[in-house]
Chain A
Amino acid sequence: MSASERRHIKSNSGVVMFTKQWFAQFISPNNVANGAAHAWPYLLISMLVIISIALIWGLFYAPSDYQQGHAFRIIYVHVPSAFLSLMVYMVMATSAASYLIWRIKVADQIAKASAPVGALFTFLALITGSIWGKPMWGTWWIWDARLTSELILLFLFLGYMTLRDALPQKVGALASSYLAIVGIINIPIIHFSVVWWNTLHQGPTLSRFAKPAIDSSMLYPLLLMILGFILYYACIVCLQLRRK
């Protein structure tokens, strides 16, 4: 090996080492706790402003649906809750995997903080969907593929929390992380349930690969509401990370 090649490898490993050290310092529990303590008030204020605007826009300024009338306005809380229930589970499972692979403590704390708020979003998606289902379908509940898979998601969140609390701290963290990773199989089932099976639940309103099945006058307050819910989730996680 020539001298220039050795220098190149040495300097390259120096960059890798520096990046690793910087990242380790960046995600250290103290650093994250400080960042979270500074971030949560900003997240809270922006969340309150955005949700207020989206609610007023959606409830009073968006036009009513030609078939469902004003009942369609339930989507302004139902769709963001359902979207966040899936998103929070993805974050929780990814954090759990990061904890298992690299033993990142902050990742485990994020997963732990995500489970109750994820369960709350899932519960709200089911309740608001049920309140919408009564006037539109004539029933509060039906064992439809979308509804049933979403109910299983709620059980996964509750199972994660129960398993974690039932076992000693370290064993509980490991066991619940495995459960979170195994449960991720339910996420595509929920998302594609309305495509794979002939369900009573309507098809996807928002999709990455297609034009939204909703007019822009109704879509914008919905997207704003989803952003507000994401900020709420970030605020809840920061509140829980700030003193750890």
Chain B
Amino acid sequence: MGDYGVYVWSSMGITIACLGLYLIYVYYKTK
């Protein structure tokens, strides 16, 4: 990813983490 790796991986990481955590939260809240 060259010089921009940190930007690419951080944006991917934040997105996947937020979506995953919210999915888990909704699953347990509505269980």
Contacts and interface: CB of A to CB of B under 8 A. Distances in A.
Same complex origin of A and B:
yes
Interface in A43-78: 44, 55, 59, 68-71, 73-74, 76-78
A242 B12 CA distance: 30
Tell me the dominant secondary structure on chain A's binding face.
helix
Contacts, number: 66
A243 interface: yes
Interface stretch (A88-96, A128-136, A205-213): A128-136
Given A69-B2, A70-B1, A242-B30, A127 B7 contact: no
A239 interface: yes
A12 B22 CA distance: 48
B23 A235 contact: yes
Contacts of A123: 18
Nearest to B15: A77
A73 B26 contact: no
Contact of A73 (B8, B18, B23, B27): B8
A71 B15 contact: no
Interface residues of B, number: 19
Contact of A239 (B1, B18, B19, B30): B30
Contact of A243 (B10, B15, B22, B30): B30
B17 to A, nearest CB: 10
A34 to B, nearest CB: 15
Q: Which 4 A-B pairs have CB atoms at the shortest separation, nearest pair first? A: A71-B4, A77-B15, A128-B11, A70-B1
Given A71-B4, A120-B19, A135-B7, 6 more contacts: A59-B12, A78-B11, A116-B22, A132-B7, A232-B23, A242-B30
